[in-house]
Structure 1
Amino acid sequence: MEFNKKPKILFDEDEIAKRVKELGKGISNDYKGDNIVVISLLRGSFVFAADLVRALHVPVNVDFMTTSSYGHSETSSGIVEIINDIRTDIKGKHVLIVDDIMDSGNTMKEVVEYIGEEEPKSIKVCVMLDKPSRREADITPDYVGFTIPDVFIVGYGLNYGDYYRNIPYIFTFDD
């Protein structure tokens, strides 16, 4: 897959690494003395989640959930499907849901409600990118890497079609 426009880098590798360390420090301080279960929403968050859990300084159990609302489109369909569920018993445990981006908030709202049915001690949300101008659901992430305007972004786990998750920086084609 080739791009017709030149990419514009929004956040380079160094900016991302610095921010992930800051998030890790803040989250570790908030959960000091506790264990947490990090639930990474696949596939987009796997790069961010891997870097984030290495930046945490509290005991961490990692699990994964696969959801879908985009398919191959640049915008959400509005229908959230849970494709693969977690395997960890989270009852009475602190849960941190990690995702690559929150825009409409529909997926995260549904995931938080779904996870809440398992009676965890607490649920917090951490996203690498927050796009609040697109918010439809009443949900705000607890931890945010970067807040961005309404642009289509790629890289650092975020895909375009089935590709470009491996790009180590975050970029856009929008002006």
Structure 2
Amino acid sequence: MDITDIEADITEVLFTEEQIAETIAGLARQIEADYSDDDDVLLVGVLRGAVMVMADLARELRLQLNMDWMAVSSYGSGTQSSGVVRILKDLDTDITGRKVLIVEDIIDSGLTLSWLLSNLRSRGAASVEICALLRKPLAVKVEIDVKYVGADIPNAFVVGYGLDYAERYRNLKSIGVLAPHVYA
């Protein structure tokens, strides 16, 4: 879906399809500089938002790697984090001794990601790092060491490229700020 299909729902385009591709390529080059084919890298995508980032990053990386997925939730049915994290879908892969790279679409408060980091480290991974396409520095409640960040953005409600509102807008090719009238 193109931004022109939903112009009334978006107040500002933050990243075009081309800018996203350039950002993903830049992240891939940084990751390649830190890992080799011998590193047994496992990309762990956080469902559902990271699907687009994970797919494009994996295709862009010039490394042998494996992929797996997790789904975690701390929101329940509301819009505010409950602080209690539940695993909705766990890894199928044993990560003991593996170099794990968590792939995220966006870091907001950092609460769920902080829990996920601790959980994966407790499973005996050789290392656990984070790659996030976007980060909202003004929304962060828990400081997390994020090794790879595509871009910092304002504390606005963004959709597109995997990011959603009520499961809509994920298939938007660009990333934009959702107009308040849509979610008010």
Q: TM-score, length-normalised on structure 2?
A: 0.87
Match of 1:160 among 161, 165, 172: 165
Paired letter, 1:46: V
Paired letter, 2:12: K
Paired letter, 2:62: H
Q: What secondary structure does 2:53 align onto?
A: helix
Match of 1:144 among 145, 149, 154: 149
Alpha-carbon distance in structure 2 between the residues aligned to 1:154 and 1:76? 19
Alpha-carbon distance in structure 1 between the residues aligned to 2:116 and 2:74? 12
Q: What secondary structure does 1:7 align onto?
A: strand
Per the alignment, do residues 128 and 74 of structure 1 end up closer, same or farther by CA in structure 2, a change over 3 Å counting? farther
What are the within-5 Å matches in structure 2 for residues 46-65 of structure 1? 46-65=51-70
Shift of 1:23: 0.5
**2:28 aligned with 1:24, yes or no?**
yes
Alpha-carbon distance in structure 1 between the residues aligned to 2:78 and 2:59? 31
Matched pairs, number: 174
Contact 1:23 1:145 in 2 (8 A): yes
Paired letter, 2:42: V
**What are the superposed Cα offsets for residues 97-130 of structure 1, whole Å, 9 maximum, x if unpaired?**
0111111100110001110111111110011110
Shift of 1:4: 6.2
1:98 matched to which residue of 2?
103
Sequence identity, in percent?
Answer: 39
**What are the superposed Cα offsets for residues 75-107 of structure 1, whole Å, 9 maximum, x if unpaired?**
434332211100101111100001111111001
**Which stretch shows the higher mean deviation, 5-14 or 90-99?**
5-14
Per the alignment, do residues 13 and 3 of structure 1 end up closer, same or farther by CA in structure 2, a change over 3 Å counting? closer
**What are the superposed Cα offsets for residues 147-174 of structure 1, whole Å, 9 maximum, x if unpaired?**
0111110000001101110001100036
1:8 matched to which residue of 2?
12
Contact 2:10 2:176 in 1 (8 A): no
2:123 matched to which residue of 1?
118
Q: Report the RMSD for the aligned CA atoms in angstroms.
A: 1.9
Alpha-carbon distance in structure 2 between the residues aligned to 1:78 and 1:110? 10
What are the within-5 Å matches in structure 2 for residues 72-111 of structure 1? 74-111=79-116
Shift of 1:72: 6.1
Alpha-carbon distance in structure 2 between the residues aligned to 1:19 and 1:25? 10
**What are the superposed Cα offsets for residues 12-57 of structure 1, whole Å, 9 maximum, x if unpaired?**
0000001101101110110024220000000000011100011111
Paired letter, 1:89: D
Judging by fraction of residues, say which structure has more helix: 2
Q: TM-score, length-normalised on structure 1?
A: 0.92
Contact 1:91 1:121 in 2 (8 A): yes
Alpha-carbon distance in structure 2 between the residues aligned to 1:109 and 1:25? 25
Paired letter, 1:62: M
